[in-house]
Amino acid sequence: MADNLLELEREALDAYSEVVTAVAERLLPSVASLRVQRSFRGRPADGAGSAVAITPDGFLLTSAHVVGSGPGGSASFADGRELAYELVGADPLSDLAVVRARGSDLPPAQLGDADRLRVGQLVVAIGNPLGFSGSVTAGVVSALGRSLPTRAGSQVRLVENVIQTDAALNPGNSGGALADARGRVVGINTAVAGVGLGLAVPINSTTARILSQLMSQGRVRRAYLGIAGGRRPLPPPVADRLRQRAGIEVLEVVAGSPAEQAGLRPGDLIVEVGGQRVEGAGDLQRLMVAAAIGEPLSLQLLRGGQQVSLEAVPVELR
């Protein structure tokens, strides 16, 4: 009996190792180590991070906080190439940025869909932590739908719908790939939140539109409400009455934001925005487009068991 259990454990370990090895072999050529040219208080200051090739002709995806507003730097690949790159565009709200390396025939990574991830699913992180290029770690999806506060100057911005993983991340992993078991990039590693806790920006239909705008226009023009929130199931009687399963629980309201001016409070449960049902942060993000800037937006929410109607006027995120 004991021998059979040991054999089963070996087979499970071998299968796990085979998956991680296959993902690493597929993605390592696509992940670059970035050296970033910056200035700090008027003086040159180099930074570092990771990036993922997404087109053969030099477009790389990374984290906005890695590249900042610096003009460029260099990208080193596993095949020994070191290519100069220039910043194409950055979007602090999603913490995503696109740079373009001066090279061709790069091996692009395949982008996946984080909306299909499930808690407990195997993920593999590839990046360049602490200066060690081509590092691979693995873990599971610990949670979905997290919010990550970020700061740009004096403004607090909130990255929504973040993936939480226990794959080991360290400084330098930011901008690197978080991949599923098939080697598809489902997230861009963005932060180390504590021991055994890493966060990644999801790759899905919302971020695909962000990437398209960054590549074509160099910026993303978007509306801003100023809340941090996550999906929360509705009580069964309310779910039956509204004919939806969940809403967006408001966890934080940014001071001075349109959400605060409209009267939103932590604990509110938003169920409808602009006449459309919302069940998670991704639903709200899809509505925060350029056309919503400056236009009154109706909000339906639950507060203390009562349905409340509010109106907010989103501003342009700057």
Active site residues per annotation: 65, 95, 174
Cα→Cα distances 47→38, 55, 73, 185, 243, Å:
7, 24, 9, 24, 50
CB-facing half-sphere around the CA of 19: CA atoms within 13 A = 19
Residue indicated by tokens 């992940």: 31
**Alpha helices of the chain — where are they, by DSSP H?**
2-27, 64-67, 205-217, 236-242, 258-262, 281-287
For residue 233, what are the β-bridge partners?
Answer: 246
Q: Say if residues 46 and 70 touch (Cβ distance below 8 Å).
A: no
Place of tokens 């259990």: 5
Of 267, 269, 264, nearest to 233 (Cα)? Answer: 269
Instruction: Report which DSSP code applies to 115.
Output: G
At 131 the three-state DSSP class reads helix
Structural contact between residues 150 and 65, judged by C-beta atoms closer than 8 angstroms? yes
Judge whether 225 and 259 are in contact, CB under 8 Å.
yes
Which of 111, 40, 47, 51 is CA-nearest to residue 76?
51
